[in-house]
Structure 1
Amino acid sequence: MPRVLLIEDDPAVRDGVALALRRQDHEVAAAETGEEGLERLRSFRPDVVVLDLMLPGMPGLDVCRGMRALDQTLPIIMATARGDDEDIVVGLEAGADDYVVKPVQARVLDARIRAVLRRAAAGGAEAGIPKIETYGDLAVDRAGFAVSLRGVPVPLAPSEMRLLLTLSASPGQVFSRQQLLEAVWEHSYHGDSRLVDACVKRLRAKMGDSGHIQTVRGFGYRFAAR
């Protein structure tokens, strides 16, 4: 059973979402505040976190950053009020892998949870592709689901890893944001290009000034095999 840590301050929402997830075969631990959520992260060891951005005391964005400091690879799905575009962008840049809008629909949340867990579990094992590829000082181990820069491991969240694997599998090919949404997040009709842009920004920051991920204005992104 997937272990889900739900951090939500509204008791009615928290209990309703937790009940719905349990009915969908998830093991759920719930927390009311960000501080409690960080404590449960250590004791419960979840497979994925569902994090409300609007929390009393410690803001959700700080909780997200704190969790990323503790675990770079833990999938985080943030919940945000409809129309809070700025919060969505900032949350994604803080390290969230995906988001859902409130009121949270149980089926949508279940689908997002299972999608992000599939990305984490699938790793980079892809038949017919060499296990380790090197691009200058960047090494991508597809089978081992690992990346190193100048010999130093680079911890990546599942969405960051899948994005890098997708781009680097076809060096020079330009991918539109919609293509990347479908390949990395499994979003089609309801895809949001902000997921791609925020993930690219985080990935570039972790990869330093390698210059491998290039923006093609008006089209999308490509991987330059320097």
Structure 2
Amino acid sequence: MMASLVFGQWTLQGDGRLTTQGRDVQLPPKECHVLRLLLATPGMLVTKDWLLEQVWPDIDIAEESLTRCIYSLRKQLQSDRGLIATVYGRGYRFNGRVRMVELPGQAARTAGTPPRFCPACGWGAEVDVDLA
């Protein structure tokens, strides 16, 4: 199982559930993958082309599929929809802090350690880790 990612009032569980107080939604696999990729790169531009390559590898897919995923994620995030910003004509940026909740038995990570690999696709990116 993948580590859980905490951002704002939300937690993306390792099994793909997006939870907050009083809500527990099972995200479809593609939406979960897109969200994990954005959470792995907080504050950084993630291009549409790169997201399409990572989420739909070896498939010629229309950009509209990615647009629908982002729309659906924003709808789930409700008042926090602004955490996913559109950089028009280029891609998307996650605007928020992300904490990784380690699974039992995993060593704790601290800021400044080597990059964490995205559990969704294996792409390396530094994730801001706050240990509570």
TM-score (norm 1): 0.39
Matches within 5 A, 1:1-226: 125=2, 131-141=3-13, 143-187=14-58, 190-210=60-80, 211-226=82-97
SS in 2 for 1:209: helix
Q: Deviations over 1:169-205 (max 9, x none)?
A: 11111111111111112146x2321111111111111
Q: Indicate the residue corresponding to 1:41 in structure 2.
A: none
Aligned amino acid, residue 196 of structure 1? L
Q: Distance in 2 between matches of 1:205 and 1:225?
A: 17
Q: 1:207: how far off?
A: 1.4
Aligned amino acid, residue 7 of structure 2? Y
Judge conservation of contact 2:4–2:12 (CA < 8 Å) in 1.
Answer: yes
Q: 1:145: how far off?
A: 2.6
Which structure 2 segments of 5+ residues have no match? 98-132
Q: Which of the two has greater helix per residue?
A: 1
Judge conservation of contact 1:138–1:149 (CA < 8 Å) in 2.
Answer: yes
Aligned amino acid, residue 171 of structure 1? P
Q: Indicate the residue corresponding to 2:127 in structure 1.
A: none
Q: Distance in 1 between matches of 2:32 and 2:86?
A: 18
Structure 1 runs of 4+ aligned residues shifted over 3 Å read none
Percent identity between matched residues is 30
**Rg comparison, structure with higher value:** 1
Judge conservation of contact 2:38–2:93 (CA < 8 Å) in 1.
Answer: yes
SS in 1 for 2:27: coil
Q: Distance in 1 between matches of 2:72 and 2:48?
A: 16
> CA RMSD, aligned part only?
1.9
- The number of residue pairs the alignment matches comes to 96
Aligned amino acid, residue 139 of structure 1? T
Aligned amino acid, residue 218 of structure 1? G
From the superposition, tell whether residues 187 and 224 of structure 1 become closer, same or farther in structure 2 (CA, over 3 Å). Answer: farther
